[in-house]
Structure 1
Amino acid sequence: MSKTAKLENEDKLFKKALEVGCKMAAMQGYPIHDPSASQSMKARALYLFLVEVRQIVPLPEDKVDGQNIKKRLALWLHSALPDGDPLK
């Protein structure tokens, strides 16, 4: 998949990435789930966690914004899913 390709299910992949990533972070002692936190705050916290544990490559400093983080998290989950998964 090219880096500029649009994912078909990007929104669904992003939501699933938040769910899976927050569970993974909590299991490693880094709880992200906060009911009062906005989705963008959770996404940024998850992005920073995944960069820290070297699951994803960090974005350049000038590209760290909500839309790029959302796409990076969706790509992370997309690459982790098996080939037959409906989200892929």
Structure 2
Amino acid sequence: MAKTAKIQNEDKLFRKAMEVGCKMAEMQGYQLTSDNASQSTKVKALYLFLVKVRQITPLPADKSDGKSIKKRLALWIHHALPDDDPLK
């Protein structure tokens, strides 16, 4: 089984994914979480929203931990960004 390589700027890509994903959800009328929710709750809510709107494929049940979800969100935004974006 091959491991995926570490993405450059994964932390910055994850933050960008949270920003863009939450804005997408808001534009479609979803309020993912309240302002005082924990970071892990917001990440999980965004992940479930993106799965629901078919922007990303769901992770297997045994791999749906916080670290895997963060990596999936970073990959999603990495592929969605234009080629000339500085985060790529």
TM-score normalized by structure 1? 0.93
**Mean Cα displacement is larger for which, 72-81 or 25-34?**
25-34
Is 1:19 paired with 2:19? yes
Whole-Å separation in 1 of the counterparts to 2:27 and 2:14 = 20
1:65 deviates by 0.5
Q: Contact conserved, 1:22 with 1:33, CA < 8 A, in 2? A: no
Question: Which residue does the alignment assign to 1:58?
Answer: 58
- Identity of counterpart residues, as a percentage? 72
1:34 deviates by 2.5
Counterpart amino acid of residue 40 in structure 1: S
Aligned length: 87
The runs of 4+ residues in structure 1 deviating greater than 3 Å are: none
Whole-Å separation in 2 of the counterparts to 1:17 and 1:28 = 16
Question: Which residue does the alignment assign to 1:7?
Answer: 7
Q: In the TM superposition, what whole-angstrom CA distance separates every residue of 1:23-49 from its partner, at most 9, and x where no partner exists?
A: 000111111252201111111000000
Question: Which residue does the alignment assign to 2:30?
Answer: 30
> Per the alignment, do residues 3 and 77 of structure 1 end up closer, same or farther by CA in structure 2, a change over 3 Å counting?
farther
Unaligned runs of 5+ in 2: none
Question: Which residue does the alignment assign to 1:82?
Answer: 82
Q: Contact conserved, 1:14 with 1:73, CA < 8 A, in 2? A: yes
Question: Which residue does the alignment assign to 1:46?
Answer: 46
TM-score normalized by structure 2? 0.93
Counterpart amino acid of residue 8 in structure 1: Q
